[in-house]
Chains A and B, each alone.
Chain A
């Protein structure tokens, strides 16, 4: 984690209490989302499962005690390749997580 250049003047307790309910809500929403995915009827369609797998593996970074969570989560969800795509024809938006080219490839 970078040391703060403009340290937040709030105390730890002030930060915790001012944002706790909002983040509790986000966590419950995430849990509900994962439950919704799990009970979805079209269980045979696994085309977008790579997104959930990326999300769950990034979630583990929130509690691994290593700090610098935001940067590491964003990197986990990023395309790890370095060469330009041959073509972007027909492509416009982003998915939110990198789709591995094979089961062996790890982002």
Chain B
């Protein structure tokens, strides 16, 4: 059964992960630009990172039959430095023309500071100018609720971007309702400790519906699971949810959101192979 992971950081993962994801049915991924776990010392570090995302990683994914798409930006964890951030923003347009770049992201907030808000607004203006979809990182843990509200206010006040072209990621039970009510897409990240589990991911679908909701792994260099979407599918089935709902949450919705970029090519969907029961 095919699935799409619309948020995963493959530069931090091994080729074994690609192998396992392909075997589990992964046909396409999108990789937002993010923090490497340490701060880069110059904008040149980002230039090389963007080349990695646009040249090297698509090749690596293709070897396993997986289509690789990406997003570019200065991430919120390094956005406190205004000078560095603006140097990175200045090089973004050069990469927007790459065949696998489908938007700006993951922009957002980390500690909800004034500088972070400034850089978020400048990147929203860039997305507006170049007519790009946006994927948004919301802060972790105690900072999430405040940060999510500040982000949505910034989008509303500082840009003309259609909320249907913006995915607010890492929603949880205390933020998903606001995100959906304001017309945005919501991303459910199933990531140990700081985000959610497959069980809570399915709970969110039960309680808030599947409209404008994508499930993802956000898997990166930390303790995380690139196979968590197939595990969520198992949880859906364990609860006897329909295959239509599973397909919508792990394939169709991601396809719909990512198709906000004309560069995204819809992968073919392969239905689950149901074996006849033994006689």
Main secondary structure of the interface of A (DSSP, over half): loop
Give the distance to chain A from B224, nearest Cβ to Cβ, in Å. Answer: 16
Known: A2-B207, A84-B150, A98-B142. A78 touches B240 (CB 8 A): no
- Is A21's beta carbon under 8 Å from chain B? no
Q: Is the CB of B208 within 8 A of A5?
A: yes
Interface residue from A4, A75, A82, A89 paired with B174 (Cβ < 8 Å): A75
Q: Per-position contact with A for B118-150: 1 when CB-CB < 8 Å, else 0?
A: 000000000000000000000111111110011
- Is B238's beta carbon under 8 Å from chain A? yes
Q: Is the CB of A88 within 8 A of B206?
A: no
Q: Is the CB of A94 within 8 A of B141?
A: yes
Q: Is the CB of A74 within 8 A of B174?
A: yes
- Is B19's beta carbon under 8 Å from chain A? no
Main secondary structure of the interface of B (DSSP, over half): helix
With the chains together, A60 CA to B206 CA distance in Å? Answer: 25
Q: Is the CB of A92 within 8 A of B145?
A: no
- Is B200's beta carbon under 8 Å from chain A? yes
List of A residues within 8 angstroms of B165 by Cβ: none
Q: Is the CB of B114 within 8 A of A87?
A: yes
List of B residues within 8 angstroms of A98 by Cβ: 142
Interface residue from A2, A75, A79, A86 paired with B143 (Cβ < 8 Å): A79
- Is A71's beta carbon under 8 Å from chain B? yes
Q: Is the CB of B115 within 8 A of A88?
A: yes
Q: Is the CB of A86 within 8 A of B114?
A: yes
Closest CB pairs A-B (n = 5)? A88-B113, A88-B111, A5-B209, A94-B141, A9-B240
Contacts A78-B145, A87-B114, A94-B142 given; 5 further ones with Cβ under 8 A?
A: A70-B203, A77-B142, A84-B113, A87-B115, A88-B80
Report B's interface with A, CB cutoff 8 A. Answer: 77, 80, 110-117, 139-146, 149-150, 172-174, 177, 194, 199-200, 203, 205-210, 238-241, 245
